[in-house]
Amino acid sequence: MLIACQAGEGFYTVRDTLAELLVARGETREAAQAAVGSKAVTRELLDQNPCWFADVPRDLCEPAPYILPGVTRNGLLLERVRRDEKEHAVCLAAVRNNGLALQFVHPTRRYRDICLAAVRNNGLAMEWVPPDLCTAEMYLAAVAKGWPIASVPQKFISKAMYLAAVAHDHAVLASVKPDWLDAEMYLSAIRGCGKALLDVPQHERTDEMYRAAVDTWGMGLPVVPPRLRDKPVCLAAVRDNPLAIRRVPDALQGDPDIVRAYREPMLALLRENGSQLIFLPRHLRDMEMCVTAVRSKASAVSSVPKELVDDVSRAVGPAQPSEPASRTEPTDKVECVVGPSGLSEYPLSPEEYLARAADPGADFPRFHLVPRSYYELPGFLAEMVLRRPELLWEMPEHRRQPDVCLVAVRRNGLLLQHVPPERKTDAICVAALLENPGADAFLPRERDLSAFYQAFDQALMAQMESDDASSAASLHGAD
């Protein structure tokens, strides 16, 4: 007997739970206990929720009629279906509901239509697709639903596949070939996640990209040029995030359509966290907004306009003990609104990235989260790896230019293994070996290294002479 649920000190069996369902429906407990063994009653309850088929004993009801409706609601229930009952239609319905149910389909029954339906629901189902069905079409469908493009064999890689990949995860832009980085690729990424706009170099951004970005990234409205902040763009921004109203031009903040779009979501946001009132423009903090915010968080009273403080206090009632306000009204209107994740809605500046990279204790974002436009700044990448050499291996290969690689191996010689073979110059190899003799394992063996070792000997002698001179100077100073 399978356990259905736990209560008190013991467990309810399926029969107990069926009885509870009858009691909840209005039956007396005695009548429920008497009726629970009835096949008709059991079938009636299964009709209400066919997902129970896996828990009902076969002496109460034959589960066959309920298997298909059950796995249609919850595909993972396929694991609890007997092998002889896993018909083609049952398996197909299960993977359409949850692609990961493909793992519970017997390998001999993983037909093309079942596998394709599975990966179209969840790309990670590609893990259980038979090798002979791993075609370009199958990989394309999987990548569009989250299968990492790095796991796709090179022979299947195409621009269309990258278009699907960046639409699902814009971080993939960092690994796209330069020849494929065009407006179509950027637009695909932006439509999937508006923040991908930050990865587009300034000179390549188009009006269409800006308009697409605010559909899924309302707080990106400040990035949109003022000439494009018309009613449709502002409406899309506040629909995505009501706090974007702060960046809507004053002339549009009172537009009826925009007011309808942001007001109810803003009130809902204030009910969850009243401190967000501080980010609402002062002239939009009316009585309803302020009362809602203060009821949620008493410290939000510091953001209530002075002329409304008394009225809000009377409406809210006696003040409850609460933590003091910890934030002040922003004055420069370029504040970073912190979301539930604790991360800023706006990117760090190049200087802030470099400062975090220099601080070993600082929380530093992964390389692919750094806006792509920063890559083009002179010396930015070299400064990054100077502070955190391990960032070299996170960079796309075409970004590992000789000057960046040289800086990295001077800090950590073993990073020579991440230098592209064609860029392992004598200067880079010498610097790596001087920093760590173990870098010898990553020298390019395919070419004549005699000239390299000669250069290395000279560099080593120069370094030893420099060290001796420094030691002598320090001893002389001590005397």
Q: What is the C-alpha separation between 303 and 277, in angstroms, rounded?
A: 7
Q: In the chain, which residues have pLDDT < 70?
A: 1-49, 51-63, 318-348, 357-370, 445-479
Distances (CA, A) of 333 to 244, 280, 300, 330, 415: 12, 11, 19, 6, 43
Residue 99 CB coordination number (10 Å): 25
Question: pTM of whole model > 0.75?
Answer: no
End-to-end CA, the chain: 89
- What one-letter code names the amino acid at 18? L
Q: What is the C-alpha separation between 271 and 274, in angstroms, rounded?
A: 6
Distances (CA, A) of 406 to 112, 175, 324, 401: 50, 22, 51, 9
Residue 196 CB coordination number (10 Å): 30
At residue 344, the pLDDT reads: 42
Cross-strand pairs, 338: 344
Write the CB contacts of 272 (distance below 8 Å, at least 6 apart in sequence): 296
Closest to 234 in 3D by CA, of 220, 223, 221, 225: 221
Q: What is the C-alpha separation between 278 and 325, in angstroms, rounded?
A: 11
At residue 281, the pLDDT reads: 87
Taking the domains of the chain in order of start, what are their residue ranges? 238-317, 350-478
